[in-house]
């Protein structure tokens, strides 16, 4: 090869590389500015929208998904009951639906792994046109060789793996992955139940606080009006009325903030259950849950979680899956592979250099043994990555278990503190109620007035609602403990 030729080839290669680089840098500032201001091209958007509509309209398994999850949000009454919402969550929660599809995917991947050990059958057909002309030859017969003819080749190949340990491990790995998908489906169901219940309880507590703010605000408004009447008659000063109006304004502000929080909780509850929710109903706690934190230690709760919590089960099985994948990688890197094969081919030539055509049939059968020695596939050793993946899976298991232990300990401590707070509030409420009754007797005997009585009633009402909210918070903590230990179900708060 001459220097000129070499230079020409190098120049051509450089131009080609420059052109390839240009094709990967089409996001020019002008194009990006047009996307920001005008969006996607309307014609292309219309085509993609039509393809999307056609895909959803197919009468296959997609239709079942559309029937389950494609409906509009179903309205619920203003005081939606928790059992009904839990049932809606089981039927319409998208995380549960996605987990179910993951089971289908795991089934398909296991079937494909099994196919890896079944016969591999393929057929081929080739049609070519040959123009043959002998340029030069010292063979007198070949000097006559000029022909144009067609060639048709048909064949079939069958390969049956006899010994392939890596594919056996692939089947075992896929079987374990299918079990993991099933466990993660259970985890998705329990997570949806927990989130729905927890959000419902939080909304119920928010509703209680809103009602208490309304009651307190109305009482302050009536008392301020009374104070204004007394001020007009010279029996009181405007200072007391302004103080009452100031407190009323604070209560109204608290009500507005709580209403915003309540609306946000209803929105989250709607998303979890696939239903339009305008309000929640009353909450009743199951019998026998009080004092759970005293009857169960952290160690007992952790033992239950390790046995029943689906997230722990799934991450433990992931360690097994990673170990099987490591063994499969070792077999692929170092294990011999034995395949039986058979090949049949029929060739029809319409002519030849010598003028005549031919039909031939050839059959080949045998056994092939492949022994990987070093870097047989040209991509290194899979075992190296598989070893790291296994250690990472073990780290994930310990991290998940440690997090679970921490959450269980914190939840039990939270339940203990909430029990104490609820007891203190109950005592304070009973004392406030006694004061209300004493003040009512004083009013009846003319030794007090309705203004003082109203203040004592507001305090008693406030303490009562706070005690109810604390009970709901305890119920939320108990619900979380059930979720963490794997004992949560749809009947827990019926």
**Structural domains of the chain in order of their starting residue, each with its CATH number:** 82-117+164-336+371-484 (1.20.1600.10)
Q: Output the pLDDT for position 490.
A: 58
Which pTM value belongs to this model?
Answer: 0.83
Of 111, 116, 112, give the one whose Cα is nearest residue 159: 116
- Identify any residues that bridge with 160 across adjacent strands, giving them in sequence order: 340
Taken in order 130, 136, 142, 145, the sign of the CA dihedral is positive
pLDDT below 70 — which residues of the chain? 1-11, 13-23, 59, 63-78, 139-145, 226-238, 240, 354-355, 490-494
Q: Helix, strand or coil for residue 79?
A: coil
- Helix, strand, coil percentages (3-state) for the chain, rounded to 5, are 65, 15, 20
Amino acid 265: pLDDT: 94
What's the pLDDT score for residue 165?
A: 93
For 263, the 3-state DSSP assignment is helix
Nearest to 160 by CA among 367, 336, 362, 376: 367
Closest CA to 258 of 315, 216, 289: 216
Distances (CA, A) of 270 to 102, 264, 287, 344: 24, 10, 28, 63
pLDDT score, position 43: 84
């Amino acid at each position: 090869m001459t220097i000129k030729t070499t230079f020409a080839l190098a120049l051509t290669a450089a131009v080609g590389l420059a052109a390839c680089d240009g094709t990967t840098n089409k996001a020019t500032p002008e194009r990006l500015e047009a996307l920001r201001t005008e969006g996607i091209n309307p014609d292309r958007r219309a085509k993609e929208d039509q393809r999307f509509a056609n895909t959803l309209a197919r009468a296959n398994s997609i239709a079942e998904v559309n029937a389950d999850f494609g409906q509009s949000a179903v309205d619920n009454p203003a005081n939606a009951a928790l059992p009904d919402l839990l049932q809606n969550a089981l039927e319409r929660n998208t995380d549960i639906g996605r987990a179910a599809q993951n089971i289908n995917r795991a089934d398909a991947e296991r079937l494909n792994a099994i196919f890896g050990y079944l016969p591999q059958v393929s057929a081929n057909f080739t049609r070519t046109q040959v123009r043959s002309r002998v340029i030069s030859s010292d063979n007198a017969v070949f000097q006559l060789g000029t022909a144009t003819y067609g060639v048709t080749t048909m064949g079939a190949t069958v390969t049956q793996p006899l010994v392939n340990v890596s594919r056996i491990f692939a089947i075992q790995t896929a079987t374990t992955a299918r079990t993991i998908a099933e466990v993660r489906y259970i985890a998705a169901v329990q997570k949806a139940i927990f989130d729905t219940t927890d959000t419902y309880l939080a909304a119920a507590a928010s509703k209680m606080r809103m009602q208490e703010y309304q009651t307190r605000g109305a009482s302050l408004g009536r008392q301020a009006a009374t104070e204004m009447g007394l001020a007009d008659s010279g029996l009181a000063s405007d200072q007391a009325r302004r103080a009452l109006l100031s407190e009323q304004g604070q209560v109204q502000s608290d009500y507005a903030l709580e209403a915003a929080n309540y609306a946000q909780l209803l929105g989250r509850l709607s998303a979890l259950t696939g239903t339009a929710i305008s309000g929640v109903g009353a909450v009743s706690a199951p019998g026998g849950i009080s004092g759970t934190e005293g009857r169960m230690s952290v160690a007992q709760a952790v033992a239950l979680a390790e046995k029943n919590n689906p997230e722990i089960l799934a991450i433990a099985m992931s360690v097994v899956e990673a170990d099987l994948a490591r063994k499969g990688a070792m077999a692929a890197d170092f294990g011999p592979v034995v395949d039986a094969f058979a090949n049949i081919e029929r060739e029809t030539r319409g002519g030849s250099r010598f003028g005549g055509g031919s039909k031939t049939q050839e059959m080949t059968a045998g056994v092939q043994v492949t022994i990987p020695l070093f870097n047989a596939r040209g991509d290194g050793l899979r075992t190296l990555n598989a070893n790291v993946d296994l250690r990472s899976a073990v780290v994930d298991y310990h991290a998940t278990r440690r997090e679970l232990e921490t959450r269980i300990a914190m939840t039990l401590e939270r339940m203990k503190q909430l029990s104490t707070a609820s007891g203190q509030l109950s005592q304070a409420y009973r004392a406030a109620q006694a004061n209300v009754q004493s003040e009512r007797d004083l009013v009846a005997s003319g030794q007090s007035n309705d203004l003082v009585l109203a203040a004592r009633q507001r305090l008693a009402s406030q303490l009562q609602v706070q005690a109810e909210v604390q009970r709901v918070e305890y119920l939320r903590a108990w619900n979380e403990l059930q979720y963490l230990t794997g004992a949560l179900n749809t009947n827990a708060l019926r």
